[in-house]
Amino acid sequence: MSAVTPVELVTSTPAAPWLSDGSTAEVWAGTAVEVPDPCIIVSLLLPRTTSEGHRFFCVPTARGLDLPTKPLGPGPGRVSVDEGLAQLVVQTLGHADVDLACVGYVRNVVPVPDATYPHPTPWAHVPVFEPTVEVDPVVTGSWVSLDDARPELRARHWRPIVEHRLEASAAR
């Protein structure tokens, strides 16, 4: 993992409809941020700059395009971030020898869970990791731009993290 850098709150959704009443979803982003605890899912951002601009890799899912993602499991059977991330990297890239940086996370802030909320409280995190060098995926997917994919990805909670990273790359 890379040296830790500052993280900033890029957006917040009070009364997030996918969370229990009175809850908020926060999106934090940076370049190499500290991995928060506890985590419930890990995701992998694979960016690429081409002659057509900045792109990132998505995989097809039943709910449409998504970043390569690995749920860590519920309750006491939850795997560690390192273990889940290693599984996701091997599944997505075909090998484990990849240095990663956490570039942001979604934080569910759930002060009082309802019966349908299965995650830790008051916080549960979904960190997004990015390889420190360009790598090629070995799974089926698509390289998409923010502009092309924005309508389809509007509901993805990680979208502001990807926007933050790609806009930072474009500024360099």
Q: Is residue 1 part of a domain?
A: no
Q: Is residue 15 part of a domain?
A: yes
Percent of the chain with pLDDT over 70: 95
**pLDDT (average), residues 6-22:** 91
Q: Is residue 136 part of a domain?
A: yes
Please count the CA atoms within 13 angstroms of the CA of 126 that sit on its side-chain side.
23
* CATH number of the domain within which 43 lies: 3.90.79.10
More confident residue, 127 or 166: 127
pLDDT digits (tens, 9 = 90+) for 85-96: 999 999 999 998
pLDDT digits (tens, 9 = 90+) for 27-84: 999 988 999 999 999 999 999 988 888 899 999 999 889 999 999 987 778 899 999 9
Residue 111 tokens read as 């002060």
Q: Is residue 77 part of a domain?
A: yes
Q: Is residue 96 part of a domain?
A: yes
Q: Is residue 29 part of a domain?
A: yes
Q: Is residue 2 part of a domain?
A: no
Total structural domains within the chain? 1
Q: Is residue 56 part of a domain?
A: yes
Q: Is it the case that residue 169 has pLDDT exceeding 80? A: no
Domain residue limits at 143: 7-171
